[in-house]
Amino acid sequence: MIEVVKRYEYPYKAREAFLDFHRREERWAVLVCHRRAGKTVATICDTIRRAIHENKPDGRYAYIAPYYAQAKNIAWDYLLKFAEPAIVKANQSELWVELVNGAKIRLFGADNPDALRGLYLDGVVLDEYADMKPRLWGEIVRPLLTDRQGWATFIGTPKGHNAFYDIYNEGLKNPNWYVKTLRADHSGLLPDAELLDAQQSMSSNQYEQEFLCSFEAAILGAYYGQEMRRITDLERITTVDYDPMFPCHTAWDLGFNDSTSIWWFQVVYGEIRVLDHHSSNGQAIPYYTGLLAQKEDEFGYKYGYHYLPHDARAKTMASGGKSIIEQFATKIDIKHFKIVPNLSIQDGIQATRLALTRAWFDNRCEEGIECLRQYQREWDDDKKCFRDRPKHDFTSHSADAMRYLSIVWKDEDSPILKDTRIKGLHVGQTDVTLDEMWKMTPKQTIRRI
């Protein structure tokens, strides 16, 4: 019997800059590319080719964008177009296609990571990884590749020293990673005249980030870019030990339909020591009261105040006419709660900038630190400038909780401890005061000539 092999002609011609990427043998890959380089098209087509040629039984492949709507608007048409010769079934409502060999390619949004749980993957593309929560890879995506020994490709444009920067540096150090950087002035993909015009109409930080792939350029529109860079440069992201002499406080941003974020902190002689951070969504009040108890048991925290936003007073029908603070009070003494003053967002942002000059962060706060680095103003496409209000994304809740912390921390600025029992210094078996020591100290006489 002669086996008939059917050939499929794909409407994709790889750009020369991506040929070595398509030929790679490494399991992990990082593409740092300038705008309009064609990285999304290249990775979608690479996924299609691998889904066909790897020919795994019930192959499963994924493309993940920062938002589900973004995946649909940007990648869905590319997937249909370039996989069309090999598609046997497509589901637009769930954004997946099935190929002739039974492999499926599906699009996801990092804004709904729970949609990925319980799956397995043979390969995945994470597009604009700098805009995703850092824990997405380690907690959710990486385990999905384990039993099938699947591969992963991270792509994007730099946005400062964030999770994408960390992945890029990990790839540079590891021979098992494929790493490629495409700068616009080297790739040859955009006309020189277009680059010159872009350079003249953009700020230097914008041009370096978007077209020269600079991780050192300031994040566009970032509220706390300079402050967070200074904190990093001064090595104030380190191990911060809990000091049992001082109470541990928490500052919250409550998400009713999305994330709730919490910072644990102490104020020690004017220093803001940020001990821990947590962010999650879809959890009820008992989950958070249990979390507080867990931290208390694990780290020995002795709580002072839990600072809640002003809307914690609001009563809702869904909770039986009880406010958030009343629900917490069923498990925690209400005297431990305080409501943050309702300042304007801009006043709170200014307070945060000042507070960050005094802040130290424990390494456990990695996700929250990333949110502070990327918290930025909203971009106005019509006016081509940043608006005066923050962009609402995965960074918002942690940044808001830090804003509340920054408003209240001075309330907990501890005075120098006094011990009335000891009035001076102990020398041998005698207590002496500083005045007494001064009287007994020989005075130096200066003679004038």
Mean pLDDT of each 10-residue bin along the chain, 449 residues long:
57 92 96 95 96 94 95 95 94 96 96 88 96 88 95 93 88 94 94 93 87 82 87 92 96 82 96 95 88 94 93 68 82 89 93 96 93 86 75 91 95 47 44 52 50
Query: Looking at residue 439, what is its pLDDT?
Result: 56
62 neighbors 106 (Cβ within 8 angstroms): yes
Query: Looking at residue 184, what is its pLDDT?
Result: 95
Query: Looking at residue 443, what is its pLDDT?
Result: 53
Query: Looking at residue 442, what is its pLDDT?
Result: 52
- Mind listing the domains of the chain with CATH numbers? 16-210 (3.40.50.300), 227-412 (3.30.420.280)
- What is the C-alpha to C-alpha distance for residues 285 and 228, in angstroms, rounded to an integer? 32
Query: Looking at residue 419, what is its pLDDT?
Result: 39
Residue from 209, 215, 250 nearest 368 by CA: 250
> Within the chain, what is the greatest distance between any pair of CA atoms?
121
18 neighbors 42 (Cβ within 8 angstroms): yes
The 8 Å CB, 24+ separation contacts for 351-355 are 351/403, 351/406, 351/407, 352/223, 352/224, 352/399, 352/402, 352/403, 352/406, 353/223, 353/224, 353/227, 354/406, 355/272, 355/402, 355/405, 355/406, 355/409
- What is the C-alpha to C-alpha distance for residues 39 and 36, in angstroms, rounded to an integer? 8
Q: Quick check: helix, strand or coil at residue 29?
A: strand
- What is the C-alpha to C-alpha distance for residues 356 and 345, in angstroms, rounded to an integer? 16
Query: Looking at residue 431, what is its pLDDT?
Result: 52
Query: Looking at residue 134, what is its pLDDT?
Result: 81
- What is the C-alpha to C-alpha distance for residues 379 and 388, in angstroms, rounded to an integer? 9
In this structure, the chain runs to a length of 449
313 neighbors 339 (Cβ within 8 angstroms): yes
157 neighbors 210 (Cβ within 8 angstroms): yes
